[in-house]
Amino acid sequence: MADNLENRTFAIIDEMYQDLKDNNRDQELLDLALKAATALDKGVNAQIVATKMVNGFSLYILTHKRESFGPKIGQSLSELTKIARTGGYVWSSIGLGDLRVQF
């Protein structure tokens, strides 16, 4: 199951990267997606990567309130949120929603 979760997490991040790149979004978001993909490649748990990706994106949205991303990115963030909450993997008392947890 871990490989499937990692593959799904990578696929979501890759889709987000391509969408952000195609729409000429801020380099900060592209860097976030690249860091997430690199972390997955280095063996970081998919739930941690998903958490950090969602938290990093959330922080960006909070600091750039005039931007909107559309339903595709929203759906990807929802899927990453589900991944972050899957299984019994507990890595810290903080996590999803704690904006200190990011790349």
Condensed to tens digits (0 to 9), the pLDDT of residues 48-103 reads 899 889 889 988 998 987 888 889 999 999 999 899 888 655 555 555 555 455 55
pLDDT band at 12 (very low <50, low <70, confident <90, very high): very high
Query: For residue 64, what pLDDT is reported?
Result: 86
Which residues, including other chains, have CB under 8 Å from residue 48's CB and lie 6 or more apart? 39, 91
Helix (H) or strand (E) holding 17, with range, is: helix 2-22
Q: What is the pLDDT of residue 51?
A: 87
pTM, to two decimals: 0.83
Burial tier of 10 (Cβ tally within 10 Å: 0-12, 13-18, 19+):
middle
